[in-house]
Chains A and B, each alone.
Chain A
């Protein structure tokens, strides 16, 4: 089976840095996605990693270690609008296989 683990909830302070971890045990691996989902809205794409290392995109960075089955999303200079759920999703094989989503981490940013 496929298993993707993320913390259920996190709280961080405005202006701070927060790291959201994701571990996965899947039958194959062909890329990991991070999505942001505000309450009652659709997920929006944040980042994609397929090779080991860090991908930086503005205030958001995502890291991948394939040997450890581990990724994290790093959010810098937190803003109140970053309060949302963050979904980790794995594409388990090549071809037209869809994504397997984790349950998401609900981040609350407080003043």
Chain B
């Protein structure tokens, strides 16, 4: 059974057209993360929610926003996607600072 679910798995958007990626979890974990991973690179943390507290990484562009309406769901909004934003976007969850469970990822293509 899927525990961290990401939709869609593949997303194509046009340059400058807003796009939203979604993540849901059935683990009841209190921490949710969004990572960006480009080919052959490490996952790069964009932001995370520890309970309701939002933590933005210092180098995350303003173009990226996030919402967590409840424990189970978290969204990544890219307001004006550029070609450089094409990547795999990974959602992960954890209970406190324990091991992180990753979703299958959403591969974003920007045309």
Q: Which residues of A contact B (CB under 8 A)?
A: 4, 30-31, 33, 40-45, 48, 87, 91, 94-99, 101-104, 106
Contacts and interface: CB of A to CB of B under 8 A. Distances in A.
Nearest to A42: B102
Contacts of B16: none
Contacts of B33: 98
Given A42-B104, A96-B31, A101 B97 contact: no
Most chain B Cβ neighbours within 10 Å, of A48, A94, A104 = A104
A87 B97 contact: no
Contacts of B48: 98
Nearest to A97: B97
Nearest to A91: B97
A41 B105 contact: yes
Contacts of A41: 104-105
Interface in B23-46: 31, 33, 40-45
B94 to A, nearest CB: 9
Given A98-B33, A98-B48, A103-B40, A43 B102 contact: yes
Given A101-B44, A106-B40, 19 more contacts: A4-B42, A33-B99, A33-B100, A40-B88, A40-B105, A41-B104, A42-B90, A43-B43, A43-B90, A44-B102, A94-B97, A96-B50, A96-B96, A97-B97, A98-B45, A99-B45, A99-B100, A103-B41, A104-B40
The 4 A-B pairs of least Cβ separation, nearest first, read A42-B102, A101-B42, A96-B50, A103-B42
Nearest to A47: B99
Most chain A Cβ neighbours within 10 Å, of B31, B50, B99, B104 = B99
Contacts of B42: 4, 87, 101-104
Contacts of B41: 103
Contacts of A106: 40
A41 B4 CA distance: 13
